[in-house]
Structure 1
Amino acid sequence: MRTFQYGAALGVLATLASCSPKNPYIWRPARRQYGAQPVDSETLRAAIDSDALLAHARMLEDFAYRQPDPADRNRLMGGAGHNLTVEYVAGLLNATGYYDVELQPWSTLVPLGGNASFFANGVSQNASLFSYSASGNVTAPVVAVSNLGCAASDYPPEVDGAIALVSRGSCEFGQKSALAGNAGAVGAVIYNNIPGGLNGTLGQPRALGPYVPTAGISQEAGLALLELVSAGTEVTGALDVVSEIEFRSTNNVLAQTKGGNPNATLVVGAHSDSVAEGPGINDDGSGVVGILEVALQLANYTTTNSVRFGFWSGEEEGLLGSTFYVDSLSNASLAQIKLYLNFDMIASPNYFLGIYDGDGSSFNISGPPGSAEAERLFEEFFDSIGQNHTATEFSGRSDYGPFLDVNIASGGLFTGAEGIKTEEEEALFGGEAGVAYDINYHGAGDNVTNLNMEAFLINTQAIAHSVATYATSFESLNQTALAKRSVGGANFRRSLHAPRCSPSCFGGGMQRRDRFRSTKLGVMYG
């Protein structure tokens, strides 16, 4: 970790802010001398306005769109658009003089794209690529795998030298690909267990074994092939996978108030990267902008407790940045964190106002002690401003996951991804039932026009309320339970939560468990 060296970045920021005619935003100096008075919810919320949020969002969009190659118009971790995002966030926060700003560097493999095709007896199956797949062009018999392909015993001897046909379900896609390879398969085709096509990620290679060329197909195509193979019909598959993977270096941005009690720290986070397919202005430019603007306005006030803002890279590749950060902390440093709040997608166009289900009352997965109280704080805030709200599953599928794993109280807000809005949600929040919360989720259309500014402002003001509250006191949390909380890194990995994987890493045939199912379902689980 290194302290952010501002110097030359000041000129960079000035250039960034001025060179985009559609973005007039340059950081506004504090209206008062820094730390002139204690922070409170009402005044901090009043400092949040839509113009500033939109201007920040336009800047992030510009970072993506200024790339000459359309394929690079994103903020993928370690890419040009993301690096500019890191500079922008770190530079603005450093310019306040209110924070100790650090860049935390780390490196990893990143999938950049590619394509896949699969033909069975000469007929295209409309296959899609699993990111992190091995590349390869193979022609071989198609052999069906028993059960769900999650155990080595599911792979019959006939799969050696063949293309394994595997159903989605139960375990990670990457596990299926690696087991197929261990059994001698030259490729794997995974078919969906719900209607429609299937794409996703195998996740970074695991110790189980290397991946084979792997593609996804629809449930309809998979079942038709399974019927043929089960009837003894010979099916010859032609699988062609081109997978582009690159080793990249990147940075988390950390900004901690210079004032406030460091032994009572609030951590507030959002992920700064996008997927390769688009600029990611709702996912998660909205969260980045929300916590950034709150941080800039907080610089006007003093705090009793320390506040640390974390901008995590590599969330889309498997919560990598937040996991790296949590793993870097000593037990003593972990014990200083009393609460983590996460904000991932807070301006979805067909939104609902979701609060992570910290008490487990809606989804039967609760957070560590203090999480229920964090949920209640947001519920009471929305009630106080006359806004409907609902619970959203606290499943560890975003950057709060690594904090849950070490037993840190957590909470946050979410407005929906590719899930479909229900009629009940339409009655509560408006919008359109039967349509995805974010029709541009993980797509090229996730730009500034994709933002619902009403939801954006409401949620950012909710962030300001939570920051002002906990920067002043943690009294509203369950202090008795927090005092008993022991922190021991890996010793406290919670079995309720899946292995670290991105919000676009989970699937497993998981479907809506009730009308308010709303987490970022991903596509790593088979």
Structure 2
Amino acid sequence: MQSWPSILVKMKFLQSIGLAATAAALVSAVPTAQDASAKIARDLPLVESNKLRRVLLRSELLKKAAHLEGLAYATPNRNRLIGTPGHQATIDWIKSIIGGFSDYYTIYEQKFTLSLGVSANLTNNAVPMEVFAVGLAPAGDVTGPLVYVPNLGCTTADFAKVTPGSIVLVGRGNCKSGIKDALASTAGAVGMLVYNNVEGSLEGYGLQLIATKEGSYVPAGGISMAEGKALQARVEAGETVVAHLSTTTEDTDTYNVIAETIAGDHDNVIFMSGHSDSVAAGPGINDNGSGTISLLEVATQLTKFSVKNAVRFAWWAAEEEGLLGADYYVSQASQSELDKIRLMLDFDMMASPNYAYQVYDGDGSAYGESGPPGSAEAEHEFERYFAQEAGLNFTTIEFDGRSDYGPFLAAGVATGGIACGAEGIKTVEEAAMFGGKAGVAYDVCYHSACDNASNVNVGAWIQMTKAIAHMTATFARSFDLLPPKTVQAKAKRMAMAKAMSDKATGKLDW
């Protein structure tokens, strides 16, 4: 993939193995693992959906939610943001649970180092303003006249009025801020101020892209929507506003945690994942402690069964900064290793209080954006499960790459997933289908301090966890529901990946 500036990102494996080796190579290299695989197949019953779902308990979900909240609240900032003790404690906790099954899983970590914002100072015409350093942008001390960039700064044309030596002012939204920053740099700007598109600060915000083809990065600061719009009005009125921005950054190590069944066919993998980090505002128990915990519970209970196809679980780091953990994983995997992933399913926000059961539109029938072959079949099986197995209503949501399945989607891997809803507003029709309140967000605590252990709908959460278990069991037994692995199928997947590659970097900024 891209060649990344060493000033921004320095990445390496914690272990001396490359990801291209994968758990399959690890297994084949260790005779004791072969023995363990044979023992699992001999001693344990083959996994079945109904039996795996039956052993999942609400009490375990709630107990783990309280513990995860405690990990966040034990730290000064009361969150699980990348680079903080709260997130490191989360990683250690995941490892402590999954590490108890070392006779069932091959477990490893993928270490990478990110440059995160530490501090920032900003003045306009010598008047101080609140500002936060934007992660992945370089540190710096720059001064220049503010130039407002229209249309949210997602295309080169938006920067036509930028003058060399200026600092651009641009709104958040429509595309990742890394694109805005790179376009500003290419246009000659020395810095960027991005203002929020909702109430609240941009503490902990990042450029969301490690690097872009649009250019290199300049120092960046994040300000509130109110401050940004006030500056915009002054600049558009013809006032000369000179900004002085200084930022500092710090490299921090973080980890993806990955576990793969010792047993099963490692040339045919079902991949289940979710992200382990929160935003700066709070402990992130729904987003995405819920997905983290659901996966832990399914992985734990799966150890009571044998599998025919290998099952891989991943807990990604740095999703909130722009899917960085998943993106790095994909960038380090060879094409032959990606080809072994028959289906990648991602789970983000499984317990929204004003929930809807949402299935990603893998066949494109609702929103027009379909995934590689296998994505439609994943959608259909989720829908069949909700309607026939669980007797529940469901709705379809856009397949927009907004969570960690995005990099896999862009690489031509069949993907899918479910969610309970984020900041979107519940419709009257959805309230009739799922209960709850129409005209209110699915999660009113989305990216807020109140996203704690009380911000979960445990009834929805256990149903979503059972849906995860169903898909795990179904594809651990057989991939008969998916298109066969053929040269033609691969060619179709890669053609779709090529068509999507330019679009992948421009997905919605969150």
Shared fold (TM-score, shorter chain, > 0.5): yes
**Cα distance change, pair 492–187 in 1 and its aligned pair in 2 (3 A):** closer
Aligned residues: 470
Question: What residue is the counterpart of 2:216 in the other structure?
Answer: 209
Deviations 1:129-185 (A, max 9, x none): 644455667665444447664566655677334443446666543333344345444
**Cα distance change, pair 144–52 in 1 and its aligned pair in 2 (3 A):** closer
Conservation of the 8 A alpha-carbon contact between 1:346 and 1:414: yes
1:291 is aligned, of 278, 295, 300, to: 295
Residues 67-216 of structure 1: pairs in structure 2 closer than 5 A: 67=75, 70-71=76-77, 73-111=78-116, 114=119, 119=124, 130-133=134-137, 141-145=145-149, 149-150=153-154, 155=159, 159-166=163-170, 171-190=175-194, 199=202, 200-204=205-209, 206=211, 208-216=215-223
Question: What residue is the counterpart of 1:46 in the other structure?
Answer: 54
**Cα distance change, pair 99–36 in 1 and its aligned pair in 2 (3 A):** closer
Find the aligned partners of 2:136 and 2:72 in 1 and give their Cα distance: 23
Find the aligned partners of 2:121 and 2:207 in 1 and give their Cα distance: 14
Question: What residue is the counterpart of 1:379 in the other structure?
Answer: 383
**Cα distance change, pair 483–311 in 1 and its aligned pair in 2 (3 A):** farther
The alpha-carbon deviation at position 204 of structure 1 amounts to: 4.8
Find the aligned partners of 1:481 and 1:240 in 2 and give their Cα distance: 54
Question: What residue is the counterpart of 2:261 in the other structure?
Answer: 257
Question: What residue is the counterpart of 2:66 in the other structure?
Answer: 58
2:482 is aligned, of 477, 488, 492, to: 477
The alpha-carbon deviation at position 126 of structure 1 amounts to: 7.8
Conservation of the 8 A alpha-carbon contact between 1:118 and 1:127: no
What is the one-letter code of the residue matched to 1:506? L
More off after superposition, 284-293 vs 166-175: 166-175
What is the one-letter code of the residue matched to 1:352? A
**Cα distance change, pair 81–486 in 1 and its aligned pair in 2 (3 A):** farther
**Cα distance change, pair 290–494 in 1 and its aligned pair in 2 (3 A):** farther
The alpha-carbon deviation at position 506 of structure 1 amounts to: 3.2
Find the aligned partners of 1:33 and 1:226 in 2 and give their Cα distance: 65
**Cα distance change, pair 145–320 in 1 and its aligned pair in 2 (3 A):** closer
Find the aligned partners of 2:462 and 2:258 in 1 and give their Cα distance: 24
Paired residue secondary structure (1:433): coil
Question: What residue is the counterpart of 1:506 in the other structure?
Answer: 508
Question: What residue is the counterpart of 1:235 in the other structure?
Answer: 240
Find the aligned partners of 2:139 and 2:283 in 1 and give their Cα distance: 26
Aligned-residue Cα RMSD (Å) equals 3.5
**Cα distance change, pair 235–492 in 1 and its aligned pair in 2 (3 A):** same
Question: What residue is the counterpart of 2:342 in the other structure?
Answer: 338
**Cα distance change, pair 184–330 in 1 and its aligned pair in 2 (3 A):** closer
Paired residue secondary structure (2:362): coil
Question: What residue is the counterpart of 2:451 in the other structure?
Answer: 446
Question: What residue is the counterpart of 2:361 in the other structure?
Answer: 357
The alpha-carbon deviation at position 50 of structure 1 amounts to: 0.3
Deviations 1:64-94 (A, max 9, x none): 2222xx22x2222343222232232223223
**Cα distance change, pair 264–172 in 1 and its aligned pair in 2 (3 A):** closer
Conservation of the 8 A alpha-carbon contact between 2:308 and 2:476: yes
- Long gaps (5+) in structure 1: 5-31, 508-521
Paired residue secondary structure (1:450): coil
The alpha-carbon deviation at position 383 of structure 1 amounts to: 0.8
Residues 318-329 of structure 1: pairs in structure 2 closer than 5 A: 318-329=322-333
Find the aligned partners of 1:413 and 1:464 in 2 and give their Cα distance: 12
Find the aligned partners of 2:334 and 2:144 in 1 and give their Cα distance: 51
Identity rate, percent:
41
- Long gaps (5+) in structure 2: 1-12, 17-39
Find the aligned partners of 1:283 and 1:337 in 2 and give their Cα distance: 25
Deviations 1:88-146 (A, max 9, x none): 22232232344333222322224355466565796x98877644455667665444447
Find the aligned partners of 2:456 and 2:170 in 1 and give their Cα distance: 38
TM-score (norm 1): 0.78
The alpha-carbon deviation at position 475 of structure 1 amounts to: 0.9
The alpha-carbon deviation at position 338 of structure 1 amounts to: 1.0
TM-score (norm 2): 0.80
**Cα distance change, pair 33–115 in 1 and its aligned pair in 2 (3 A):** same
The alpha-carbon deviation at position 456 of structure 1 amounts to: 0.7
Paired residue secondary structure (1:102): strand
**Cα distance change, pair 434–148 in 1 and its aligned pair in 2 (3 A):** closer
The alpha-carbon deviation at position 195 of structure 1 amounts to: 8.2
More helix by share: 2
Question: What residue is the counterpart of 1:431 in the other structure?
Answer: 436
Question: What residue is the counterpart of 2:284 in the other structure?
Answer: 280
Question: What residue is the counterpart of 1:405 in the other structure?
Answer: 410
**Cα distance change, pair 2–176 in 1 and its aligned pair in 2 (3 A):** closer
Find the aligned partners of 2:143 and 2:182 in 1 and give their Cα distance: 19
The alpha-carbon deviation at position 361 of structure 1 amounts to: 1.0
